């Protein structure tokens, strides 16, 4: 019987769908497992990154189902966002039509892989039944004082024609989505006050240690940026207060200049008339480079001086492009001797350097310094702090400032409030109106959802919602007068920050979800997604979960109990640097570069992340058609551990297909043999020696596969163990009926062990071989520790430390017998005859070493 993967996979996919095989019970027992992968944006075409991520999750879900857990494994669509709007402009269609068509396409592609989703719980963020509750949450935040609107400088992408949150600007100062240049623009915007939760978000990272990757925790900790220091109130030379925050009050006597953010509100009013034009030019220049990390640190003198309250000394005030207006007070004290950035700036603008922390050998002199001294030391040139250690001086400086009334201890965060306004159509409408009489007025909950109008013209430029009179013109809910509806829509991260909770009760039309049901399923036991979401989606989701807790919807503190960040899928890219052109693998095979006048040796080959721009992507549908879904699943799980990058290889997929063919052919070989049809049990003691060895190997394989999957999700080593077992099964010669019965049991267990990774072929073979019910209804196999112990081991014979022979020995072999066998070995005799045997050493369970001279 031929292994026809196409027929088999379609058969089982239809069966699972027709029988609703993966339907989730409404409320789980105590034994529940919620596995979730980050839901995709419906681009319309699945890529290998999706396949890798979703196969990991599906294998975990199927494994825990076999363990008897109630499983929640849903899928949905992060469906709002700029790509759909841009596509609408390009293809002259509507984003809704484009998005829903893409969802249908991607759903069909996902089903080709046989994933065990409960599609009854599907959520689509662009549909009113979902985004209504996003609006509901926003109103609740407004009620609690967590949502506000203010004007100010925002990050602006001209290409996307919208505002970006800080987290959405790359370190290179470009847009995270289109890679276009980001500039600053003054706009009235809506913000969520996530800073009210900064302390909790920071402290609760402790709860995730050991369950989340260390690097993700470190990235969030750095982004939140908790620092303990002091607020010190300096004074401008006109007598006005000038507060700053510092984490190094021990160095306060070393201040030689002050720096203020280039976009500090009221900066120009602070400058002297003589310096105002220079500062204005500097502001314009800084607006273009503010978000980049590799720009040159620059500044301009404001003409003003600031007085240090500790020593009454004056320090010049510079506007600088390295100071953040949003952090602390928007100004910093600069101590060039003990901060490298301050040092470089001081050298550039010929500002004095003053040493106030001395090193161990007392050798620091300002005039000889080539870099800042940033280590701890003893305080000098600092009046009341002299002679103190760095730590002692910090405490005393804060105490002194508090006592004198010009400072105090302060905890500060780098985390900024979440800017959620977007000047786009395809997003969740903000539920507010603007009334000339009443100001900003929230829409009553009874009027939710505020739906997007369909009569929209899409053109490159301003927000299309502004042009929809039917949408904009409304009445004020408070006074009944004329009002204008808010035309900004929400950041798509507001949709993805709570979807995991909606999955628990996906069709509730009275509430976002029933609290009793949600509390039974949450938190998510295993969350899977890319590390690129560490400081956006994952942080926002943690905040949203805590907010839902605080309004009584859910219990607990964190949404995701465990996090796995999967590696990327890599493939060879082929680039002609001369033509600035990438070739596909097929074009390389066909030597397409020769038609362009390029030599093969001039093509740069690099293993990198699959992407359309690098022409190194692989279409999963094409690979499935060639080799089958199970082969693709096997490959992406076998090529590397889930958290590591995976190098794509056509040969690797072919190897996975060969592995499945071997299983098919070997297991069906015994189908019609009478001894195999028997359902008799076997006695281990009646097994042949080969049979006992295989049965021990089988039990050790169960143990290893279970540990590899349950404890580490190392499916790659689990598959390797199953490949080893298959090799042993392939050479096994069945000697008696007990051997046949044992072999049948090994096949049954083998199919269950492989099922989470390759569900189609295993389920088909399980039925052909008449093992009774479906694997889907079976339990995970368990090993017997007794049979994990070997009866024999490999005993090595050495002569003068060099291996000369190996034999299989009984585990209970005595020292005398081991030595006797070694001396009797013909291979050993070849190196001992005619020589004096000085001594014979036995290392139990390992080797015999004969020392000769």
Per-residue pLDDT band at 181 (split at 50, 70, 90) = confident
Strands 257-261 and 227-236: unpaired
Residue 675 clears pLDDT 80, i.e. is over it? no
Question: How confident is the model over 349-374, as a mean pLDDT?
Answer: 95
Task: Give the model's pLDDT for residue 90.
Answer: 83
User: Is 612 among the annotated ligand-binding positions?
Assistant: yes
In this prediction, residue 789 carries a pLDDT of: 86
Q: Mean pLDDT, the chain, as a whole number? A: 94
Q: Give the separation between CA 369 and CA 365, rounded to whole angstroms.
A: 6
For the chain, count helices (H), then strands (E): 29, 31
Quick check: 174 pLDDT over 70? Answer: yes
Residue 269 has a pLDDT of: 94
Better-scored residue on pLDDT, 179 or 492: 492
> H/E element holding 231?
strand 227-236
In the CATH scheme, what architecture does the domain 227-412 have? Answer: Alpha-Beta Complex (3.90)
DSSP string of 23-62, one letter each residue: PPPSS--SSEEEEEEPPPP--SS--HHHHHHHHHHHHHHH
Residue 89's pLDDT is what?
81
Tell me the mean pLDDT in the region 25-35. Answer: 94
Q: What is the pLDDT of residues 519-534, one digit of tens each?
A: 999 999 999 999 999 9
Distance CA 248, CA 245 (A): 9
Question: Hey, how many other C-beta atoms are within 10 angstroms of the C-beta on 15?
Answer: 13
Helix/strand/coil percentages in the chain, nearest 5: 45, 20, 35
Mean pLDDT to the nearest integer, 257-273: 94
Binned at pLDDT 50, 70 and 90, residue 294 comes out as low
Looking at residue 566, its pLDDT comes to 93
Residue 452: which of 434, 478, 433, 470 has the closest Cα?
470
Element (H, E) at 318: strand 314-320
Residue-level pLDDT at 278? 96
> DSSP letters of 255-310?
--EEEEETT-TTHHHHS-HHHHHHHHHHHHHHHHHTT-SSSPP-EEEEEEEEE-TT
The predicted pLDDT at position 711 comes to: 82
Q: In sequence order, which ranges of 683-800 are alpha helices (DSSP H)?
A: 689-712, 715-731, 737-754, 759-768
Tell me what pLDDT residue 692 has. 94
Tokens (6 digits) for 222: 């750095």
Whether 5-125+493-530 and 227-412 share one fold: the answer is: no
Span 670-788: which CATH code?
1.10.730.10
The domain defined by 5-125+493-530 folds into Rossmann fold (3.40.50)
Q: What is the pLDDT of residue 721?
A: 98
**Arithmetic mean of pLDDT, 634-661:** 95
pLDDT tens digits, residue range 507-517?
999 999 999 99
8 A C-beta contact, residue 5 and residue 631: yes
| Domains in the chain: boundaries | 5-125+493-530, 135-193+417-490, 227-412, 575-618+641-669, 670-788, 792-852
pLDDT of amino acid 167? 66
pLDDT at 91: 85
Q: What would the mean pLDDT of 470-483 be, rounded to a whole number?
A: 96
8 A C-beta contact, residue 603 and residue 572? no
Distance CA 182, CA 292 (A): 9
How far apart CA 244 and CA 836 sit, in angstroms, is 86
Q: What is the DSSP letter of 566?
A: P
- Looking at residue 289, what is its pLDDT? 65
Three-class secondary structure of residue 442 per DSSP: strand
Q: Which of 36-45, 169-178, 350-359, 661-670 has the lowest mean pLDDT?
A: 169-178
Q: Which residue has the higher pLDDT, 580 or 493?
A: 493
Q: What is the pLDDT of residue 214?
A: 96
Which pLDDT score, from 0 to 100, does residue 680 have? 87
CATH number 3.30.2010.10 given to 792-852: no
Most confident of 404-413, 455-464, 666-675: 404-413
Q: What is the DSSP letter of 453?
A: P
pLDDT above 80: residue 148: yes
Work out the pLDDT band at 172, boundaries 50, 70, 90. Answer: confident
Position 628 scores a pLDDT of 98
Neighbours of 504 (CB within 10 A): 28
**pLDDT band, very low/low/confident/very high, at 82 (cuts 50, 70, 90):** confident
pLDDT at 99: 96
- Antiparallel, parallel or unpaired: β 32-37 and 70-72: parallel
Burial zone of 477 (CB within 10 Å; 0-12 exposed, 13-18 middle, 19+ buried): middle
460, pLDDT greater than 70? no
Q: Is 323 helix (H, G, I), strand (E, B) or coil?
A: coil
**3-state secondary structure at position 141:** helix
Contact 99, 42 (CB under 8 A): yes
pTM above 0.85, yes or no: yes
Residues 188-234 pLDDT 10s: 999 999 999 999 999 999 999 999 999 999 999 999 999 999 999 99
Asked if the model's pLDDT at residue 417 lies above 90, the reply is yes
In this model, does residue 166 exceed pLDDT 80? no
Mean pLDDT of 786-805: 92
Q: Are strands 847-852 and 792-799 parallel, antiparallel or unpaired?
A: parallel
pLDDT at 701 over 80: yes
Q: Please compute the mean of the pLDDT values over residues 96-107 and round it to a whole number.
A: 96
Cis before 297? omega within 30: no
- pLDDT value, residue 111: 97
Cα(721)–Cα(750) distance, integer angstroms: 11
């Amino acid at each position: 019987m031929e292994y026809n993967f196409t027929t088999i996979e379609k058969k089982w996919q239809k069966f699972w769908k027709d029988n609703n095989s993966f339907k989730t019970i409404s409320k789980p027992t105590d034994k529940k497992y919620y596995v979730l992968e980050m839901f995709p944006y419906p681009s319309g075409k699945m890529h290998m990154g999706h396949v890798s991520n979703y196969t990991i999750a599906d294998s975990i879900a199927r494994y825990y189902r076999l363990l008897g857990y109630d499983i929640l494994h849903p899928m949905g669509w992060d469906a709002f966002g700029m790509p759909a709007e841009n596509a609408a402009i390009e293809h002259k269609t509507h984003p809704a039509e484009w998005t829903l068509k893409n969802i249908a396409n991607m759903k069909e592609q996902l089903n080709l892989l046989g994933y065990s989703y409960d599609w009854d719980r599907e959520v689509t963020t662009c549909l009113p039944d979902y985004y209504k509750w996003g609006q509901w949450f926003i109103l609740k935040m407004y009620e609690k004082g967590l949502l506000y609107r203010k004007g100010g400088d925002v990050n602006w992408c001209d290409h996307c024609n919208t505002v970006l949150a800080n987290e959405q600007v790359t370190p290179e100062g470009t847009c995270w989505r289109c890679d276009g240049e980001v500039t600053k623009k003054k706009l009235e915007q809506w913000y969520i006050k996530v800073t009210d939760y900064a302390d909790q978000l920071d402290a609760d990272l402790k709860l995730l240690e050991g369950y989340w990757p260390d690097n993700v925790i470190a990235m969030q900790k750095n982004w939140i940026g908790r620092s303990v220091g002091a607020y010190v109130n300096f004074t401008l030379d006109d007598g006005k207060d000038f507060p700053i925050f510092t984490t190094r009050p021990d160095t306060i006597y070393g201040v030689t200049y002050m720096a203020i953010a280039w976009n500090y509100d009221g900066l120009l009013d602070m400058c002297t008339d003589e310096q105002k034009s220079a500062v204005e030019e500097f502001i314009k220049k800084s607006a273009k480079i503010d978000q980049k990390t590799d720009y040159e640190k620059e500044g301009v003198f404001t003409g003003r001086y600031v007085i240090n309250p500790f020593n009454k000394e004056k320090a010049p005030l510079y506007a600088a492009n390295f100071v953040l207006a949003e952090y602390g007070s928007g100004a910093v004290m600069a101590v060039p001797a003990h901060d490298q950035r301050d040092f470089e700036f001081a050298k550039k603008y010929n500002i004095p350097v003053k040493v106030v922390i001395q090193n161990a050998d007392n050798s620091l002199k300002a005039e000889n310094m080539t870099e800042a001294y940033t280590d701890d030391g003893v305080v000098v040139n600092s009046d009341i702090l002299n002679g103190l250690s760095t730590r002692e001086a910090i405490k005393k400086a804060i105490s002194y400032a508090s006592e004198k009334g010009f400072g105090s201890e302060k905890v500060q965060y780098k985390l900024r409030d979440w800017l959620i306004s977007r000047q786009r159509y395809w997003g969740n409408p903000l539920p507010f109106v603007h009334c000339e009489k009443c100001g900003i007025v929230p829409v009553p909950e009874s009027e939710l959802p505020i739906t997007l109008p369909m009569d929209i013209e899409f053109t490159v430029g301003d927000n299309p919602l502004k042009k929809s009179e039917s949408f904009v013109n409304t009445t004020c809910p408070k006074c009944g007068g004329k009002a204008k509806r808010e035309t900004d829509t929400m950041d798509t991260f507001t949709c993805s920050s709570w979807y995991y909770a909606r999955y628990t009760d996906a069709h509730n039309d009275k509430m976002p979800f029933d609290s009793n049901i949600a509390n039974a399923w949450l938190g998510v036991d295993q969350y899977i997604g890319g590390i690129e979401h560490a400081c956006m989606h994952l942080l926002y989701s943690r905040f949203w979960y805590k907010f839902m807790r605080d309004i009584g919807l859910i219990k607990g503190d964190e949404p995701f109990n465990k996090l796995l960040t999967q590696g990327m899928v890599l493939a060879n890219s082929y680039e002609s640097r001369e033509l600035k052109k990438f070739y596909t693998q097929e074009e390389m095979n066909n030597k397409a570069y020769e038609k362009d006048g390029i030599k093969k040796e001039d093509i740069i080959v690099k293993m990198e992340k699959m992407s359309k721009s690098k022409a190194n992507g692989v279409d999963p549908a094409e690979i499935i058609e060639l080799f089958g879904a199970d082969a693709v699943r096997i490959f992406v799980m076998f090529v590397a551990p889930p958290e590591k990058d995976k190098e794509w290889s056509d040969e690797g997929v072919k190897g996975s297909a060969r592995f499945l063919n071997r299983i098919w052919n070997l297991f069906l070989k015994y189908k019609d043999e009478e001894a195999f049809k028997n359902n008799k049990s076997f006695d281990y003691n009646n097994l042949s020696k080969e049979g006992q060895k295989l049965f021990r190997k089988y039990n050790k394989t169960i143990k290893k596969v279970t540990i590899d999957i349950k404890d580490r999700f190392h499916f790659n080593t689990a598959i390797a163990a199953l490949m080893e077992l298959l090799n042993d099964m392939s050479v096994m010669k069945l000697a008696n009926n007990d051997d046949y019965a044992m072999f049948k049991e090994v096949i049954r267990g083998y199919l269950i062990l492989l099922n989470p990774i390759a569900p189609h072929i295993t389920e088909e073979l399980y039925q052909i071989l008449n093992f009774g019910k479906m694997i889907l209804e079976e339990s995970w196999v368990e090993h017997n520790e007794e049979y994990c112990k070997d009866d024999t081991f490999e005993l090595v014979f050495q002569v003068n430390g060099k291996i000369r022979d190996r034999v299989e020995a009984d585990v209970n072999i005595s020292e005398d017998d081991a030595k006797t066998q070694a001396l009797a070995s013909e291979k050993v005799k070849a190196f001992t005859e005619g020589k004096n045997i000085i001594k014979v050493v036995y290392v139990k369970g390992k080797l015999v070493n004969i020392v000769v001279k």
